Chain A
Amino acid sequence: QVQLVESGGGVVQPGTSLTLSCAASGFTFSNYGMHWVRQAPGKGLEWVAVIWYDGINRYYVDSVKGRFTISRDNSKNTLYLQMNSLRAEDTAVYYCARGWLRGIAVASNAGDYWGQGTLVTVSS
């Protein structure tokens, strides 16, 4: 069965960096685009970033451009989110979600399987 397991969250100070990981299993990881979506405490969902199945194309929400980098290692079936210059407003549970299957419309799948999330708290 499809499984996505996030890790790497924690409490960090403003201005510092953190890298999240998402270990995928139960499907051919290298055939799927992947998303990161976050949810601030008590708030709604916010799409953060997307990466193509081959890692070549990557896109971000404006609020994280230049600070966050999405990447993947298909040999390790793992998705990453490197977060630099963290701010208090980045505090959230970060979810990875499986996107579209290679060859299918990119826009069609905003996440058919999700991990349980990892909490990032940015506080001094």
Chain B
Amino acid sequence: QSALTQPRSVSGSPGQSVTISCTGTSSDIGGYNYVSWFQQHPGKAPKVMIYDVSKRPSGVPDRFSGSKSGSTASLTISGLQAEDEADYYCCSYAGSYTWVFGGGTKLTVL
């Protein structure tokens, strides 16, 4: 049950695209297509932005997209906006009815 690996921080200018990576193992990301991404603003509860690797819940802008290759998942945010500045966490099913989160990535919109 080791945490997934995410970069501590990423940044981009308004209108640009950024990609946040999330690296796991064959026991979690690599073994299942159940990766979620959560956005968390300071002092707020997490909000799901992507589930099942690449599906977007209703209400989430299509600027947010997810993908996976092997044991690494990625969240791409295109057309960056000021309100996208937040912490982002990946989460993967890890088998035996357990889940594991990444350490989180702070996105700064310059």
Contacts and interface: CB of A to CB of B under 8 A. Distances in A.
Contact of B89 (A45, A105, A109): A45
A44 B36 contact: no
Contacts of A110: 34, 36, 48, 51, 91, 93, 99
Interface stretch (B13-21, B71-79, B100-108): B100-108
B38 interface: yes
A45 B104 contact: yes
Interface in B28-87: 32, 34, 36, 38, 40, 44-48, 51-52, 57
29 contacts: A37-B101, A44-B3, A44-B89, A44-B101, A44-B103, A45-B38, A45-B104, A47-B91, A47-B100, A50-B97, A57-B97, A59-B96, A59-B97, A95-B46, A105-B34, A107-B32, A107-B93, A107-B99, A108-B34, A108-B51, A109-B51, A110-B34, A110-B48, A111-B36, A111-B38, A111-B48, A112-B48, A114-B47, A117-B45
Interface of A: 35, 37, 44-47, 50, 57, 59, 61-62, 95, 97, 105-112, 114-117
Contacts of A105: 34
Given A110-B91, A114-B46, A44 B98 contact: no
Contacts of A114: 45-47
A23 to B, nearest CB: 15
Given A45-B38, A95-B45, 7 more contacts: A44-B103, A45-B91, A47-B101, A109-B51, A110-B34, A111-B38, A112-B48
Nearest to A45: B101
